[in-house]
Amino acid sequence: MVPFVEGWEGQEMLINGVQSRTIWPTGDGAVEIIDQTRLPHSVETVRLESLDDAVSAISDMLVRGAPLIGVTAAWGLAIALRNDASDVGLEEAAARLRASRPTAVNLAWAIERVSRVVSPLGPGDRADAACQEAAAMAEEDVAACRAIGEYGADIIQAIHRQKAGETVNILTHCNAGWLATVDWGTALAPIYVARERGVDLHIWVDETRPRNQGAALTAFELGQQGVAHTIIVDNAGGHLMQHGMVDLCIVGADRITRTGDAANKIGTYLKALAARDNALPFHVAAPSSTVDWNLSDGVREIPIEQRHSREVTHIVGTAAGGELTEVRISAPGSAAANFAFDVTPARLISGLITERGLCDASEGGILGLFPERSQP
Ligand code: MRU
């Protein structure tokens, strides 16, 4: 079971009524995570005690979501340094973690940050320093997500006022809730904070094929927090928008260029197009650790992960007896392509919700909040 750890007071996110995080140190050099491949069918935790464990937790998607991938990589590097803290060991561990998934830039960001801290130290001091840095990054992620929640909730509250207190209907794609971060989430943090402020909300949850992060994770965590929601098939959003059943869209991001283009789970771009056609706000919520300050053309430059075709041709769920089962849904022999992310150009994004506030999805907007990044 997920433990409650001292110091988490004030955190809100629950699993079966118990305050939880997605990752936590065990106190003996390892970390524990919630195995998200088992959700929502069962809540199981897994101990990561080697570099191999951390790499496969990321690549096999036991942890997923850009901010959580970053923090897991930071802790993975710390764990690897306990075994080999030499320069070569550091470089090899960093390279393996960096290669574990390609799109979310938080991964490279986290590895670079830990490497920068430990590189000047002697090998004997590196593992502890890396561990401290990973723990600090986890706390910063929680604080950033909470701040995103506060700024995003202002947008939701304004719509609530415009609607004279009627229910605000929000559409989201994939999972950008607390399970995709350490706590609170990015796109869902504004929803949790708005609810704290008494806003009446209902969330349309795209199922998010092929791995169904919406149906399996977003719906699960919204249910656990008691937020009203409805799962819809991925192609339903446009229809709902045309019929006045959506007030705004909020999604997360895996990588945002310095010009405001945003990569997120495949299908996000189509939602943004539908939102534009229906004159609805489409916001992207993400911490600055998701901004790739070196890129300026998302469609051309952001690497898009392609995953195994089996995720498209097969589907995983619980059988009548409760056991996790995989079934084929396509004719044998048909080829399947599995692009995991797409890029929504900045021109389709109404605004970015960051830990420093709201800004236009543009270089000027982003640098207005993060002036220290003026030099790439
Ligand atoms: O492939 P995943 O499950 O790691 O993709 C997750 C997403 O696309 C999320 O929406 C994104 O990382 C935002 S995370 C707060």
List beta partners, residue 282: 249
Enter the DSSP assignment of 166.
P
Which residue out of 254, 261, 292, 342 is catalytically annotated?
Answer: 254
pLDDT for res 236: 98
Check if the beta carbon of residue 258 is closer than 8 Å to that of residue 376: yes
Dist. CA 61 → ligand 1 center (Å): 10
The stretch 103-113 carries a mean pLDDT of 97
Dist. CA 174 → ligand 1 center (Å): 6
pLDDT tens for 151-189 read 999 999 999 999 999 999 999 999 999 999 999 999 999
Strands of the sheet with 255-257, listed across from one edge: 291-292, 255-257, 262-265, 341-344
Question: Which of 148, 205, 255, 265 maximizes ligand 1 atoms within 8 Å of its Cβ, making it the mutation to test the pocket?
Answer: 265
**Measured from the CA of 252, which atom of ligand 1 is nearest?**
13
Which residue minimizes the CA distance to atom 12 of ligand 1? 65
Q: Which CATH number fits domain 14-140: 1.20.120.420, 3.40.470.10, 1.10.287.10, 3.30.43.10?
A: 1.20.120.420
pTM attached to this predicted model? 0.96
Measured from the Cβ of residue 230, the count of other Cβ atoms closer than 10 Å reads: 14
Percentage of residues in the chain with pLDDT exceeding 70? 97
Mean pLDDT, the chain, whole residue set: 95
Number of DSSP helices (H) and strands (E) in the chain, helices first: 13, 18
DSSP letters, 7-24, are T-TT---EETTEE--SEE
pLDDT at residue 300 greater than cutoff 70: yes
Q: Which two tokens stand for residue 80?
A: 């690897």
Q: In sequence order, which ranges of the chain are alpha helices (DSSP H)? A: 51-59, 66-83, 87-98, 105-118, 123-162, 189-196, 213, 219-225, 237-242, 268-277, 298-301, 310-313, 363-369
Using CB distances shorter than 6 Å, the residues near ligand 1 are 64-67, 104, 174-176, 180-181, 186, 213, 252-254, 264-265, 340
The stretch 283-307 carries a mean pLDDT of 98
Measured from the Cβ of residue 13, the count of other Cβ atoms closer than 10 Å reads: 24
- Place domain 147-373 in its CATH homologous superfamily: Translation initiation factor eif-2b; domain 2 (3.40.50.10470)
Q: Of all residues in the chain, what percent are helix, strand and coil, respectively (each to 5)?
A: 45, 20, 40
pLDDT at residue 136 greater than cutoff 80: yes
Tell me the domain boundaries of the chain. 14-140, 147-373
pLDDT at residue 267 greater than cutoff 80: yes
- The Cα 266–Cα 273 span in angstroms is 13
pLDDT at residue 209 greater than cutoff 60: yes
Q: Which residues contact 271 (CB under 8 A, 6 or more apart)?
A: 171, 173, 206, 237, 238, 249, 251, 282
pLDDT for res 376: 61
Q: Confidence band (pLDDT; 50, 70, 90) for 7?
A: low
Token pair 């992207």 is at which residue?
284
Label the pairing between strands 314-318 and 324-328. antiparallel
pLDDT for res 10: 53
The stretch 93-105 carries a mean pLDDT of 97
pLDDT for res 14: 84
Q: Which residues contact 331 (CB under 8 A, 6 or more apart)?
A: none
Dist. CA 176 → ligand 1 center (Å): 6
The number of residues making up the chain comes to 376
Closest CA to 157 of 189, 116, 190: 190
Percentage of residues in the chain with pLDDT exceeding 90? 94
pLDDT for res 19: 87
Dist. CA 213 → ligand 1 center (Å): 8
Domains 14-140 and 147-373 share a fold: no
pLDDT at residue 120 greater than cutoff 70: yes
Question: Is 141 part of the annotated catalytic residue set?
Answer: no
- The Cα 22–Cα 190 span in angstroms is 19
- The Cα 141–Cα 355 span in angstroms is 9
pLDDT at residue 210 greater than cutoff 70: yes
Region for 357 from its dihedrals, namely left if φ exceeds 0, alpha if ψ lies in -120 to 50, beta otherwise: left
